[in-house]
Every structure is written in structure tokens, then in C-alpha cells.
Amino acid sequence: MESVIRMRGALMSLPFMTNDKEGLLRQWLGQMRPFMEEQTRLLNSTAFNQSDVCWGVESSDHKLLANRYAEFVKMAGLNANELKVFKKGLQIGGGEGKLQLFLELGESLQNTGWSLSGIYPLGQTLKLVPASTHRDQIEAWYAQHEADAAVLFGRSLAADTYSFFSTELFGANARENAELHISQAKALNVNPLPEALLGVLLEDEPAYIESFFKFGKAGLLEMGLRIPKPSEQMMTKLALVLGNSGLDGMAAYEGSLGNGFEKRFLQISRRSTGIIAHNQYALI
């Protein structure tokens, strides 16, 4: 319960929180709270510029979270057909890994969804991605490189539903992984992350990097990289390169969370509106 209070307090400090959004948050929390006493982890992902935030909960007990999520979807009057997609995702997961439920909030954003993290057959997870030229292109890229595992996949229930997935990049070092990212962007006929940002990532030489994709009905919405447990030096340099540092705001937000959290992932990606970076935390 203490972690819920801390995270909610941090969310209330964000500039875009309104009475309506606070009401939705209360509704979501009210539905999720019964299982917060179980073996679950609370997650939080926040944009560097504090334009949006994502509240999440995860557990290895898929059945418990799945039942609560289905109840929330029905109570909130969301798209009931998406529950069929959710069940398909659970079948792909096969009870392995962790199920995560999330609520996204921003100035013009209210959304909920689910994801699974573990090791899953990429071909199966891609079936949840809407058909498009972009999907075919990235599927062909992975087939060419004989890579067939996703480490994260999920879906939102927004009016404009989107699907997303991540894979581990298989380069021998950080530089090779950056080259693989550029190769994927070329296959999709889109721009990769800017060289300056990739340069910051290469300086830290992370041993593990994931490639992240988000798809909508019309094709690719977002593409980027995910790095576990980013260093403070990397975070500072990235914020400065982005030109909208948000360092003071991020420090204040982390202060609201207190000491009981760990940085789990840095995600930096390109959208049609530009580059966006997020920190993902796990409350402990």
C-alpha cells in the first residue's frame, strides 16, 4: 500500500493531471488494488519531458491479473472484442514470464492495455500486429537474420488500438547492435535514431539492448531501443542531447517516488512527432 501512495503522489505532481484523469486513475486502482496484496510489482514509466506517464502492475500469476483486467474492461465499457485478443496473447504466453497491465495518461492521452515479458515465438506475437507493409517488412528482416524470439509483446485498448513488441538485438557488442537498429530502420524505410543519441548509448557500451516497435492499423507508429538499468551519466547526456532536458522535473518526480524504486529500463524511440525518451521504474 505504501508504494501505491508514493506512486500516486508522484503522478499528482505531473502538470497534465486533471480531475477526469485522477478519476480514471482511481477507477483503475480500485479494480487492481485487490491483487496488490499478492506477489506483484508496481511499475511506472515516465517521459523525460513529463508529457505522459504509464502506471503498471506485473505478476507471474497470469490468471489472477487476467481476471481482474477482464473485469476492468467490462466495467469501464471498453472494447469487449479486445478481450479475445488478450486471451490469444495469454495463449501465446503459455503461462511463462510475467503479465503486465498498464494505464497510460497524458495531456491528450488516456489508455489501458497489457503486455507479456519473457521469451516468446516472434512469429506468433506478430500475428497480433495489424497487417501492413511495415509489418511484412520487419517480419522479413527477422526471417533473413533467423531471429525468432520476442522478449516483450502487448496491446492497447485505445480508440486507435496499437500493438507492440521487443526483441533482443544479437550484435556482439553495442556498436553492432546500433548497426542492426540502423538496418531495421532501412528495411522499414524510416529514419533510425539520430547519430548523436546512438553515440551516447555506445559510450556506455551496454551488453544488452532491445529493439522496440509499436504498430497501428496504418503501420509503424514508433521504433526505438530499450536498455536495462541505464547509468545516471547516460541519462544526463541523453537529456541534454534531446534539447529538452527535463532533468529538474525528472529529479523532482523521482523524489516524489522516494527511495523505494529501481530504474528498470530506458526506452528511447522515434515517433512521427519526434524523439521521445522514457524511464521505467519498478517500486520495491
Mean pLDDT, residues 262-279: 92
With a CB cutoff of 8 Å and minimum separation 6, the contacts of 38 are 59, 61, 64
pLDDT one-digit tens code per residue, 208-228: 999 999 999 999 999 999 999
Q: pLDDT at residue 53 above 70? A: yes
Q: What is the pLDDT of residues 177-193, one digit of tens each?
A: 999 999 999 999 999 99
Strands, E, within 79-209: which ranges? 98-106, 109-121, 149-156, 163-168
How many Å apart are CA 1 and CA 8, to the nearest integer? Answer: 11
Total structural domains in the chain? 1
- CA torsion sign for 62, 63, 67, 68 is negative
Which pLDDT does position 45 carry in this prediction?
85
196 or 42: whose pLDDT is higher? 196
All cell numbers assigned to 28: 483503475
User: How is residue 201 written as a grid cell?
Assistant: 548509448
The answer, yes or no, to whether residue 36 has pLDDT greater than 80, is no
Residue 183 lies in domain = 2-283
The whole model's pTM is what? 0.91
pLDDT at 137: 99
Report the DSSP beta bridge partners of residue 20: none
